[in-house]
């Protein structure tokens, strides 16, 4: 497993585990997934306070506890949403310093950790008081409550502000050959900030199960693709590499991104790890063949 070094002296496994879709109700399967991840060299785990209204952090914290003595790993979580855990309802967006500072305590409690390795703002708009949010992250870093911070955003104006005015180490965006909108960001990113690519298999569309996923999850198409265009694009990508997950991972490696893949079963993780191990090193020509097979799309909103 390759590692990607962040500033702030944090190392993330190139293939990381997105925990949002873990089968929390099936504790045994969740434990098997996490054990297999660690055994495969995955050392970074991505969650958020909002996932299952705190339950995701809680289960992850409990499961990771049993592996603490045998493995070294990092956990990234996110804040900025207010929610009612009892009613299981999102209340609203709140990136204020007071909310971030109280949310981090709740996350630490649920995860059973003394410090968060990577704390991310879970979205945000250009209207937010961004300097206040940034100073909250900086305070938490100085106090040792978090080791590093980043944002999860697909708004170019927000990203631009954080790149210019904060010390973020990561930027999380949906990124894969089909949703290639982050390319313009990746091309201009300062080397100190790493992209965490969420959605690397596009909900399973870029997997061995693509035909079924296409039918079940993309009947109305996605982004600028109709259903038929997606079908055609999948066939073209398959001609480049029959293992679409390996193809997507290689595309992301070419862009120096951390691959944050979510799974809901052990079988999916096993398959993804196998694809990770067999991913090709792309030549520039092979990379361009992937770009030729897809539509190059861009973010239309939140540019200024």
Ligand X SMILES: NC(=O)c1ccc[n+]([C@@H]2O[C@H](COP(=O)([O-])OP(=O)(O)OC[C@H]3O[C@@H](n4cnc5c(N)ncnc54)[C@H](OP(=O)(O)O)[C@@H]3O)[C@@H](O)[C@H]2O)c1
Which residue, judged by CB position, is nearest to ligand X in the bound state?
A: 18
The answer to whether residue 273 forms part of the interface with ligand X (CB under 6 A) is: no
Question: Whole-angstrom Cα distance, residue 291 to residue 304?
Answer: 26
Q: Specify the 3-state DSSP secondary structure of 100.
A: helix
The answer to whether residue 189 forms part of the interface with ligand X (CB under 6 A) is: no
Question: Whole-angstrom Cα distance, residue 92 to residue 78?
Answer: 15
Question: Whole-angstrom Cα distance, residue 58 to residue 85?
Answer: 12
227 tagged catalytic: no
The answer to whether residue 61 forms part of the interface with ligand X (CB under 6 A) is: no
The answer to whether residue 279 forms part of the interface with ligand X (CB under 6 A) is: no
Alpha-carbon torsion (254, 299, 185, 167), positive or negative: negative
The residue behind tokens 């496994």 is 13
**Measured from the CB of residue 22, what is the shortest distance to ligand X in angstroms?**
8
The answer to whether residue 222 forms part of the interface with ligand X (CB under 6 A) is: no
Q: Which of 124/140 has CB closer to ligand X?
A: 124
Q: What are phi and psi of 250, to 5 degrees?
A: -65, -40
Q: Which of 17/108 has CB closer to ligand X?
A: 17
Token pair belonging to 290: 């992937």
**Measured from the CB of residue 174, what is the shortest distance to ligand X in angstroms?**
7
Q: Segment contacting ligand X (CB under 6 A): 135-143, 155-163, 200-208, 295-303?
A: 200-208
The answer to whether residue 57 forms part of the interface with ligand X (CB under 6 A) is: no
Alpha-carbon torsion (37, 245, 280, 189), positive or negative: negative
Q: Which of 46, 117, 128, 179 binds ligand X (CB under 6 A)?
A: 46
The answer to whether residue 171 forms part of the interface with ligand X (CB under 6 A) is: no
Query: Per the residue annotation, which of 51, 119, 249, 276 is the catalytic one?
Result: 51
**Measured from the CB of residue 48, what is the shortest distance to ligand X in angstroms?**
6
The answer to whether residue 274 forms part of the interface with ligand X (CB under 6 A) is: no
CA-angle at 156, arms to 151 and 160, nearest 5°: 70
CB neighbours of 300 closer than 8 A, spacing ≥ 6?
none
The answer to whether residue 56 forms part of the interface with ligand X (CB under 6 A) is: no
Question: Whole-angstrom Cα distance, residue 282 to residue 251?
Answer: 8
Q: Which of 16/70 has CB closer to ligand X?
A: 16
Q: Which of 272, 273, 279, 282 binds ligand X (CB under 6 A)?
A: 272
Q: What are phi and psi of 17, to 5 degrees?
A: -100, 120
Q: Which of 198, 251, 258, 290 binds ligand X (CB under 6 A)?
A: 198
CB 4 within 8 A of CB 247: no
* CA 239 distance to own-chain centroid: 27
Site residues (CB under 6 A) for ligand X, limited to 108-127: 122
Q: How many residues bind ligand X (CB under 6 A)?
A: 26
Residues making contact with ligand X (CB under 6 A): 18-21, 46, 78, 122, 152, 172, 198-204, 207, 209, 260-264, 268, 271-272
Residues assigned a catalytic role: 51
């Amino acid at each position: 497993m390759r590692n990607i070094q962040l500033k702030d002296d944090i190392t993330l496994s190139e293939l990381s585990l997105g925990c949002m879709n873990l089968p929390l109700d099936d504790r045994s399967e969740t434990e098997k997934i996490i054990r297999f991840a660690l055994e495969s060299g995955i050392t970074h785990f991505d969650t958020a306070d909002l996932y299952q209204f705190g339950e995701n952090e809680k289960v992850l914290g409990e499961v990771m506890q049993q592996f603490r003595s045998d493995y070294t790993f990092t956990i990234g979580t996110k804040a900025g949403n207010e929610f009612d855990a009892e009613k299981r309802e999102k209340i609203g967006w709140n990136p204020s310093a007071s909310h971030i500072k109280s949310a981090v305590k709740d996350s630490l409690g649920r995860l059973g950790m003394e410090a968060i390795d990577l704390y991310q703002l879970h979205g945000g708009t250009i209207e937010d008081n961004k300097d206040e949010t940034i100073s909250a992250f900086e305070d938490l870093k100085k106090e040792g409550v978090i080791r590093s911070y980043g944002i999860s955003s697909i708004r170019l104006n927000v990203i631009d502000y954080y790149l210019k005015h904060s010390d973020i180490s990561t930027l999380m965006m949906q990124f894969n050959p089909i949703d290639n909108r982050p390319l313009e960001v990746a091309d201009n990113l300062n080397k100190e900030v790493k992209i965490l690519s969420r959605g690397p298999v596009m909900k399973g569309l870029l997997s061995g199960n693509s035909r079924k996923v296409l039918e079940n999850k993309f009947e109305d198409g996605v982004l600028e693709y109709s259903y038929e265009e997606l079908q055609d694009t999948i066939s073209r990508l398959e001609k480049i590499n029959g293992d679409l997950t390996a193809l997507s991972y290689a595309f992301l490696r070419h862009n120096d991104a951390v691959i944050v893949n979510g799974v809901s079963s052990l079988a999916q993780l096993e398959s993804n790890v196998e694809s990770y191990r067999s991913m090709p090193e792309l030549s520039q020509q092979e990379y361009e063949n992937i770009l030729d097979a897809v539509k190059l799309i861009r973010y239309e909103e939140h540019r200024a």
